Amino acid sequence: MLDHEQLAEFAERGYLLVPDAVPEHLLAAASRAVDGLEPPPPQLQGPHHHFLDAAQYPPLQALLTDSQAFSLAECLTGPGTLDVPPQVQVALNIPPFPHRPGMHHIDGAPHEPDGRPGTFTLLAGILLTDQLSNDMGNLWVWPGTHLTHAAYFREHGPEAFFDANGYPPIALPEPEQITGRAGDLLLAHYLLGHNIGGNTSTATRCAVYFRIKRTGHDPHWRAFLQDPWFDYAPFR
Ligand SMILES: [Fe+2]
């Protein structure tokens, strides 16, 4: 369960890191599955992603469904409200990659094959490697921008998503980097601005991401872009 302070933090900042949400045996099995994927091209530095059919990779799916992670996500939206996503992303960040993102983005641009923006309710990210300090391949986030983005879409209308193309022109606060240990769970609102960071450590960073929708999310994307709590009944 998430406590009141954690819920308040998510409401204000748009994300939350839950320590030690996934047990060691699930992490070990998932790491073996990642090791079995096609390796990145030699010499590659920086981000390298695998977007996979989750059903084909049970040890990756299990990070979400056999741990507390899925029920922790449902603490944000209400029990029984989320669909297990069909896709899993393995996100590697290979050093040396002395990159610093200049700005944020939101996912889902330009649009999905049916023409709707690729919105979803929340991102669940499970760290498979430690990232105890900054610049270890950490995800960057701009706290509170789930609210600023919603205000932008209220002012300009949800169709402004297409013109923004993933980069709504909002005022940005100082970014923060997500730090944590293997097994920690990141829960982030879809509307939270974020980006890929650099990696000046000696180790490849690995995180596994699930893009999760509330059941029935898709037709309501216009309302969801303007009301950040549309899919989050406990926050309404
Ligand atoms: Fe993204």
What pLDDT digit, counting tens, does each position of 44-55 carry? 999 999 999 999
Q: What is the pLDDT of residues 54-111, one digit of tens each?
A: 999 999 999 999 999 999 999 999 999 999 999 999 999 999 999 999 999 999 999 9
Q: Tell me, in angstroms, the distance from the centre of ligand 1 to residue 105's CA.
A: 6
- The helix (run of H) or strand (run of E) holding residue 141 is strand 139-141
Model confidence pTM above 0.75 = yes
Ligand 1 center–CA 21 separation, angstroms = 22
CA dist., res. 104 & res. 228, Å (int): 18
pLDDT the model gives residue 155: 98
Span from the CA of 194 to the centroid of ligand 1 (angstroms): 6
128 in Cβ contact with 83 (< 8 Å): no
Q: Where are the domains of the chain?
A: 4-229
- Classified by CATH at the fold level, domain 4-229 comes out as Jelly Rolls (2.60.120)
Distance in Å, CA 123 to ligand 1 centroid: 9
- The Å distance, Cα 87 to ligand 1 centre, comes to 15
Token digits of residue 86: 């069909």
CA of 38 to the centre of ligand 1 (A): 22
Say how many Å lie between the CA of residue 140 and the centre of ligand 1: 10
Sort residue 43 into left (φ over 0), alpha (ψ -120 to 50) or beta.
left
- Residue ranges with CB less than 5 Å from ion ligand 1: 107
